[in-house]
Amino acid sequence: MKPLVPFEPVKARAKEMPTGANWISQLKWDGVRMLTYFQDGQIELYNRRRNERTRHYPELGEVSRYRSANSLILDGEVIAMREGKPSFYEVMKRDGIRHTHQIQGRIQRVPVHYMVFDLLYLNGEWVTSRPLRERQALLQEVVRPDETVQLVESFTDHHALSRFAKDHDLEGIVFKDMSSTYVINGKDDRWRKQKNHQELIAVVGGVTFRGAVVNALLLGLYDEEGRLWHIGNAGGGKVSQREWQELTEAMPSLAQEACPFVHVPAGTKQMRWTRPLLTVKVQYLEWAEGHMLRQPTILGFVAIPPQECRFSSI
């Protein structure tokens, strides 16, 4: 099957929740969007960018454990836990693997779960034109949950679920219209996401040092003309001392003389420029004037192509 671009929710306004019996809400999992394709006894996994991930998650390849259909396409998120909650940084330790010989060693250290929330194709027929309530009923019939594969639960008390997500410091919730069809490569307000934290993926264009060790990153995003704009610096967050040390050791291969940003940031005496190759997930409070992030903190390094880190993708 040809990999598809999944249906996406739009951003909901802060504290605005839909009303009416036709709406349900689900937890927003801080993971990697993943579509599972099963046909003729073969299974393939593709992420939202249509990059194959079948070998990255061999535990999901045993589709006979959890399905009762001859062919299907499932939509969901692969997640990994850290300190008792889903962590995008943790799951990227699996999704970002570049060499297949590393996979077996990571399976035990970074176990994953597949949180399934939609069904696109079943037994040779597309079901995307059916309303969500029917697709959910079909999911209940064909997917047998186990320790690794779970069906995402739906709720009607949006306020209670929102409080739960905030109390447990989870990413947020998604509102879905139960009459909504599934639009491949689509995005509209029949699905709405409400995040507890503002997050984005940024490009690393430089670093600062404390003594001989890197202690902060200069962050950037590309505009539509391919120019890299400096959006702030971040040193706090979830990067370990070991990771700072590894970045320091990699600096000879990353460093460059020229500033990669459109404008040279202020206070550059302690900065060293890097080739824009690394990307990080960043949490921030809000945008300040001049394309700058307010209070950015680092959630972790990620395996996202720098060219995809654009203002238009926020």
Note the pLDDT of residue 294: 85
Q: What are the beta bridge partners of residue 283?
A: 199, 297
Note the pLDDT of residue 150: 94
Q: How far apart are CA 50 and CA 199, in angstroms?
A: 22
Specify the DSSP class assigned to residue 270: T
Note the pLDDT of residue 65: 64
Q: How far apart are CA 24 and CA 176, in angstroms?
A: 5
Comparing CA positions, the residue from 179, 307, 276, 290 lying closest to residue 232 is: 290
pTM for this entry: 0.76
Q: How far apart are CA 38 and CA 27, in angstroms?
A: 26
Note the pLDDT of residue 63: 64
> How far from chain centre, in Å, is Cα 122?
26
Positions in the chain short of pLDDT 50: none
Note the pLDDT of residue 268: 60
DSSP line for 71-122: SEEEEEEEEEEETTEE-HHHHHHHHT--SGGGHHHHHHHS-EEEEEEEEEEE
> Which amino acid appears at position 203 of this protein?
V
Domain 8-195 belongs in CATH node 2.40.420.20: no
Note the pLDDT of residue 14: 72
Residues in the chain: 314
Could you tell me the fold of the domain covering 198-313? OB fold (Dihydrolipoamide Acetyltransferase, E2P) (2.40.50)
Spell out the domain ranges in the chain. 8-195, 198-313
Phi-psi region at 226: left, alpha or beta (left = phi > 0; alpha = psi -120 to 50):
left
Note the pLDDT of residue 66: 62
Q: How far is CA 139 from CA 135, 142, 143, 183, 249, in A?
A: 6, 5, 6, 18, 48
> Which amino acid appears at position 170 of this protein?
L
Note the pLDDT of residue 77: 97
Q: How far is CA 29 from CA 16, 26, 76, 80, 134, in A?
A: 20, 9, 9, 10, 23
Whether the CB-CB separation of 281 and 290 falls below 8 Å is answered with no
pLDDT digits (tens, 9 = 90+) for 153-185: 999 999 999 999 999 989 899 999 999 999 999
